[in-house]
Homo-oligomer: A and B are copies of this chain.
Amino acid sequence: MVTIRDVAKEAGVSVATVSRVINGSGYAHIDTKKAVDLAVSKLQYKPNEVARSLYKRKSKLIGLILPDITNPFFPELSRGVEDYLQRRGYRLIIGNSDGKQEKEREYINTFSQNNIIGIIASTSEYNDRNYKDLNMPVVLLDRTTEDLPAVYADQHAGGELAAAALMERGSKEIVIVRGPITIKPVRERYQSALELLQNTEGVNVQVLDSTLSFQGAKSCAKELFDKYPKTDGVIACNDIVASAILQEGLRLGRLIPEDLQIIGYDDIPMCALLYPALSTIRQPAYEMGEVAAESLIKMINKEPLTEQHIKLDVAFIDRQTTRKGM
């Protein structure tokens, strides 16, 4: 390993001088600067970030906590975060929490121990206190809390958009497949959809519970058609579950969207490749990641945040599982 000493020796100056020209701090004669630069490139010197981090008590590392990268909503999110940070020289330590307090806490601890300078967390609810007194910047992603900055999508609008789309297109017997209500954004989208539906004359609403994962989706779909065979409209908690319902509906010979309309949530890339292509509520996952990263960097640089809570728009993506020409 080549250290600053080697460079100093090679350039015939002191380590202090090398440090100065490398960091562009303090003065340095143009010639010594050249000599140092030469030595640096000759020896291929790269500063040891660990030593830097130790001295400055801060690194270029940022922690990202996700529930589960295996859920297709999160890869886009995380790339949004990474791409933004990568361009600015930061690196990402990633942790999948599976929504578990303990795992989250474990990650947070090792994050601190590594002098991480900030955390972006898509945490499950009630784990907030993990982050409260952490003496480093935290941005919540796809989640909100009173006290912490957050970036999230408009779940309220999302739920209403889904409900409205279905009703406008004539569904009368609607089932909301509700995800785990312990997850705030999932709960909110559900509540908004339910409220709008319940306040509408001539619409009959049922609620069915489901997970968000591939594993649970199939059985949920079966249960849906079993319990509510007359259903002519489904609002799913995410696109995975919607896909399973679409599959099962097709299997049972339902005409989609003529007999049964389906709306998913998230707009994962796969939606566009289903047949019929899945109508859904789009969350701007990649952008959410970027914006969260941007906010975090601002906080790290002590720049003021114009808004503590940044709510991004969702949109109804009108594909083939909802009817046309109203």
Where the two chains meet, the residues of A that have a C-beta atom closer than 8 Å to any C-beta of B are 1, 46-51, 53-54, 57, 59-61, 68-70, 72, 74-76, 78-79, 82-83, 86, 91-96, 103, 107, 109-110, 112-115, 214, 217-218, 240, 243-244, 246-247, 250-251, 269-270, 272-275, 277
Known: A75-B70, A109-B46. A246 touches B275 (CB 8 A): yes
Q: Which residues of B are found within 8 Å of A95, using beta-carbon distances? A: 82, 86, 91-92
Which chain B residue has the least Cβ–Cβ distance from A242?
B273
State the majority secondary structure of interface residues on A: helix
Q: Which residues of B are found within 8 Å of A218, using beta-carbon distances? A: 272-273
Q: List 8 A-B contacts (CB under 8 A).
A: A46-B112, A69-B79, A72-B72, A75-B75, A86-B103, A91-B93, A91-B110, A247-B275
B214 and A243 contact, CB distance less than 8 A: no
| CB < 8 Å neighbour of A240 from B75, B93, B273 | B273
| CB < 8 Å neighbour of A274 from B51, B70, B78, B274 | B274
Which chain B residue has the least Cβ–Cβ distance from A249?
B275
| CB < 8 Å neighbour of A275 from B72, B115, B250 | B250
Number of copies: 2
Which chain B residue has the least Cβ–Cβ distance from A71?
B75
In the complex the two chains form, what is the Cα distance from A129 to B159 in whole Å? 51
A78 and B86 contact, CB distance less than 8 A: no
A49 and B113 contact, CB distance less than 8 A: yes
| CB < 8 Å neighbour of A50 from B50, B78, B247 | B50
In the complex the two chains form, what is the Cα distance from A69 to B86 in whole Å? 15
| CB < 8 Å neighbour of A54 from B54, B74, B93, B240 | B54
B115 and A48 contact, CB distance less than 8 A: yes
In the complex the two chains form, what is the Cα distance from A240 to B269 in whole Å? 10
| Complex A-B, nearest 9 residue pairs according to Cβ-Cβ distance, in ascending order | A49-B113, A214-B269, A247-B275, A243-B273, A250-B275, A69-B75, A70-B75, A50-B115, A50-B54
| CB < 8 Å neighbour of A69 from B49, B61, B69 | B69
B94 and A82 contact, CB distance less than 8 A: yes
Known: A76-B70, A94-B82. A273 touches B57 (CB 8 A): no
In the complex the two chains form, what is the Cα distance from A69 to B75 in whole Å? 6
Q: Which residues of B are found within 8 Å of A47, using beta-carbon distances? A: 113
A94 and B94 contact, CB distance less than 8 A: yes
Q: Which residues of B are found within 8 Å of A275, using beta-carbon distances? A: 246-247, 250-251, 275
In the complex the two chains form, what is the Cα distance from A80 to B72 in whole Å? 16
B91 and A114 contact, CB distance less than 8 A: yes
In the complex the two chains form, what is the Cα distance from A107 to B47 in whole Å? 15
A273 and B93 contact, CB distance less than 8 A: no
Q: State how many angstroms separate the Cβ of A97 from the closest Cβ of chain B.
A: 10
Known: A48-B113, A112-B46. A214 touches B54 (CB 8 A): no
In the complex the two chains form, what is the Cα distance from A109 to B91 in whole Å? 11
Q: State how many angstroms separate the Cβ of A290 from the closest Cβ of chain B.
A: 14
In the complex the two chains form, what is the Cα distance from A240 to B75 in whole Å? 15
